[in-house]
Amino acid sequence: MTGTTRIPAAEVSGPKGWLVERFARRTLGQVPSSIGVYWHNQKVLMDMASVGGKVKKWDACDEQLKSFAHMAVASRVGCTWCLDFNYFEAHNVGLDLTKAREIPRWRESEVFTALEREVLTYAEAMTETEPTVTDEMVSSLRSQLGDSALVELTAVIAFANFTTRPNVALGIESDGFAAACGLKPLADRVAAAS
């Protein structure tokens, strides 16, 4: 992690803490710094993790599209932790790493399909305050993905906003997951057009 969180991490302790740390080390190879910050309110930590576990089980929409959408939200919001973690996860589940690393500069990159670009545009439009989603965006994605997949994609993007914004607000930054497994650094983020 490159910075200091706005709330110092609490000591992850007790039987529940031991289980959380053990699970994190087993699945991620390390205990994310975010756990210590969220440990101040264990109900929030556990409920967010529970929702995240449920989101991972959804299967109506292509995993790569959902991953790219989540990373687009993280890039737009500035959540380095989420970008790093989702890049690491893309590696772990065999997604296209060339495309994943290009998410921060997807508009300038030539690696994305037309559908992927529509999904990334939709993710950013949902992330804006006020959201800028249009009828045309939804109609196009609906015709390509179907209703079930579009509902799932929309919920994944909403979940990405739910997880990225608190990390940014609390100053939680990248833990270096991608670097630890030897992935090329993410492309530099291109400033959003006004």
**What is the spatial distance between Cα 7 and Cα 159, in angstroms, rounded to a whole number?**
23
pLDDT confidence band for 1 (50 / 70 / 90):
very low
For residue 189, the model assigns a pLDDT of 79
3-state secondary structure labels for all residues of 19-67: HHHHHHHHHHCCCCHHHHHHHHHHHHHHHHHHHHHHHHHCCCCCHHHHH
Residue 192 confidence class, pLDDT cut points 50, 70, 90 = low
Q: What is the mean pLDDT of the chain?
A: 94
Would the CA dihedral through 61, 26, 46, 100 be positive or negative? Answer: negative
pLDDT tens per residue, range 121-175 = 999 999 999 999 999 999 999 999 999 999 999 999 999 999 999 999 999 999 9
- Other CB atoms closer than 10 Å to residue 81's CB: what's the count? 23
Percentage above 90 pLDDT, the chain? 87
- pLDDT at 81 > cutoff 50: yes
Q: How far apart are CA 13 and CA 40, in angstroms?
A: 11
Average pLDDT over residues 58-87: 97
Residue 194 pLDDT exceeds 60: no
More confident residue, 118 or 29: 118
Q: How confident is the model over 48-59, as a mean pLDDT?
A: 96
Q: Report pLDDT digits (tens) over 14-39.
A: 999 999 999 999 999 999 999 999 99
Whole-number Å distance between alpha carbons of 63 and 65? 5
Confidence band, pLDDT 50/70/90 cuts, at residue 188: confident
Name the percent of the chain lying above pLDDT 70. Answer: 96
Band the pLDDT of 3: cuts 50, 70, 90: low
